[in-house]
Amino acid sequence: MSRPVQRRQPGLQYGLVLLASQVMNFGYDSIPPATLAAIVAQSVLYMGLIRVPWNAEDVCISASKVFKHKDWRSFILSNFEHGSDMHLYYNMVSFLLKGSFLENMYGTTNFAFLIGVISMGCSAMYVTIGYILTQITEDYAYYTSCAIGFSAVLFALKVIVVSEEQDRPHDVGGFRVPSKFAVWAELFLIHLLVPNSSFIGHLGGILVGCLYCYTFVGEIIDGKISKLTGQPIVHEEMFYRRRTFRIF
């Protein structure tokens, strides 16, 4: 997630060209359908080819907008808008890799529902953290800070991917980091390199991913999704072991 810095600009921009190139290099026919649909939908939304009654900054999410003004539109839509073409590019390339891995494992319908649940969870976590920090620090900026973007969802997916993979080092900023620390290292690295990014949003995404992977909340989500789709969500053995021990 990031703070909205400009209006969505119609037409083709450099970040969109880069994204199209990455998709072609990956092979669009190799991208699972839900992942591809999400990438195309967010790209088309950013380009302004979908006529919607809002601008990106209209649906940025903050604790104030949700708790005080009951702005549920922002609660739902903020994760899918982007502030710039490069913001969209980096998020969608990251999603291309994570989505392809998890969708092939979980199944398209299950994965699509999971993305919806995680998105709502990230919004809830963002406003909750903002409210709590306001109460602790008495800094109203946490209550009104507004953000958009898919990166909170990506951080949640990062936690899930790491939990599904066998323990192995991950490359973060050119350094080899143990898998259990990789997502935290990435959180602080992005915060240092991209000052406009939303630290609270990214942290909220990690916490949502941890709730799904390491607590009974994930078991409930899996059960509800499987009941809706009629297909079980199959995890790797390592994932089940971690969830059993409830380890953060």
* Residues annotated as part of the active site: 151, 202
Instruction: Collect all residues with Cβ–Cβ distance below 8 Å to 201 and sequence separation of at least 6.
Output: 1, 2, 122, 126, 147, 149, 151, 152
Provide the residue type at 35 as one letter: T
Q: What angle do CA 96, 41, 75 make, to 5 degrees?
A: 95
Of 115, 114, 110, give the one whose Cα is nearest residue 232: 110
Q: What angle do CA 116, 122, 126 make, to 5 degrees?
A: 150
Retrieve residue 155's tokens. 């951080």
β-pair partners for 170: 177
Containing 18, the helix (H) or strand (E) segment is helix 14-26
Instruction: Collect all residues with Cβ–Cβ distance below 8 Å to 144 and sequence separation of at least 6.
Output: 62, 63, 64
What b/e readout covers 86-112, taking b as 16+ CB neighbours within 10 angstroms? ebbbbbbbbbbebbbbbbebbbbbbbb
Helix (H, G, I), strand (E, B) or coil at 235: coil
Provide the residue type at 136 as one letter: I
β-pair partners for 171: 176
